[in-house]
Amino acid sequence: MSTHSVPFEQAPPGPAPYDAESALADVERRLAATQALARVGDWTLERDTARVTWSPELFRLFERPVEHGAPDINEALAYLSPESLELTRTAFWYAIDKGERCTLEQTARLPSGTTAHYVTEIMPVADAGGRVFMLYGTVQDITERKALEAERLRQLARVAELSRRLLDVGERERRQLAAALHDRASPNLAALKLIFTSLRNALPATIRGELEPLLDDAAALLADTDAGIRDICATLRPATLDYAGLAAAIREYADLVARHSDTRVQLHVDEDMNGLPAELQTLLFRIAQEALANCAKHASADRIRIELRRSGKYVTLRIADDGRGFDPERLGQAGVTPGLGLITMRERAELAGGRFTLRTAPGAGTEIEVELAPNSHRFRGNPQ
């Protein structure tokens, strides 16, 4: 009988023995790479021994050679500006006493002479009994972000200054045009009316009777043109604003709106507006002018109420109507009225450092309120 041998099959090799040290080293390398990419370092501070540890990225962030080792607590704090130093000490004790994490921004002066900005998260580590025995923190370099924020603020300030200059230029042009109309067109029209009256009286009675309808139309056209020029001058730059002040100018323009519409205008104006900077008076008049124009055009209101109050260090202008109102969420969208006028009023007030408030709803009328401080540094002009 023959026998056949069966070959012995070897079991596949098992997994390599777990090397904890290699795995830990790999995790540390990955953590260091991640921290370098995010420019985030971390540290620990033992409460009882004051022993400090730094991650490799933290050495790079603070330009400290690794061979120098982690600094002691006093060395670490010496990198910070005086303001950041006080904030950091307060945050340390808050985290220890309260057992709560906290976040703060820090400014440091680096060995190279450059200034760096960081955001630091401080987390308390407590033992089983709840006592905080160590602080753990992360530090992220936000210097580039701070530089971008500073540049953005500079650009916003530049845009705001350019906008103020444009408003000033526009106001000067309005004043010049109003003066030109008042000083040239109005006298010419007055002279033309006198000449027309003289010609009319010089005509023979029979001819004057035949031309009476045409003469009446011409006289009415002259009167309407004269009144129109006065209204244009009042809209461009009322002389009342320059010579009688804000309260009188608003009253005059409110009367003008009332004459040209079916809307009743109620005024409650403090007369004590003397001493307000000329720029502020112009600004408030322009906002009131725009608000009244909006009411007349879009609100379908029966009544407009204007309040101009001076209380303490603020001047408040409030204009409300009982018109149809609108949805403020749709302000600025295409086809929604009013739109540009309200946006312009808000921008004028906010450029001057003031507060603009809009209250409205469909069917509930509209109210705007502007609050400005006459002593703001934005008003550089002399009191009027």
Confidence check: pLDDT of 382 > 50: no
Q: Using one digit for the tens of pLDDT, what is the confidence trace for 330-379? A: 766 666 555 677 888 888 888 888 899 988 888 888 898 999 888 765 55
pLDDT at 257: 83
Reported as a single tens digit per residue, the pLDDT across 149-192 is 989 988 888 887 787 787 777 778 877 787 777 777 778 888 88
Q: How do the domains of the chain map onto residue ranges?
A: 28-143, 246-383
Q: CA-based angle 188:193:235, to the nearest 5? A: 55
Question: Which of 113-127, 221-235, 289-303, 352-366: highest mean pLDDT?
Answer: 113-127
Give the C-alpha separation, 279 to 353, whole Å. 13
- Average pLDDT of the segment spanning 258-270: 82
Angle between helices 340-351 and 143-180 (to 10 degrees): 110
Cα–Cα distance, 347 to 216 (Å, whole number): 47
Distance CA(267)–CA(252), nearest Å, equals: 11
Tell me 221's DSSP state.
Answer: H
Tell me, what's the pLDDT at 118? 95
**Residue-level pLDDT at 27:** 53
Compute the average pLDDT of residues 101-111.
94
Q: Can you give the pLDDT at residue 20?
A: 60
Q: Could you tell me the pTM of the whole model?
A: 0.57
Task: For domain 246-383, give the fold.
Answer: Heat Shock Protein 90 (3.30.565)
Determine the pLDDT at residue 334: 63
* Predicted pLDDT at 112: 93
SS3 331: coil
Neighbours of 143 (CB within 10 A): 17
**SS3 state at 89:** helix
pLDDT digits (tens, 9 = 90+) for 37-93: 557 889 999 999 999 999 988 999 999 999 999 999 999 999 999 999 999 999 999
What's the confidence (pLDDT) of residue 6? 44
For 28-143, CATH gives: 3.30.450.20
Lowest mean pLDDT among 64-73, 99-108, 263-272: 263-272
Q: What percent of the chain has pLDDT over 90?
A: 29
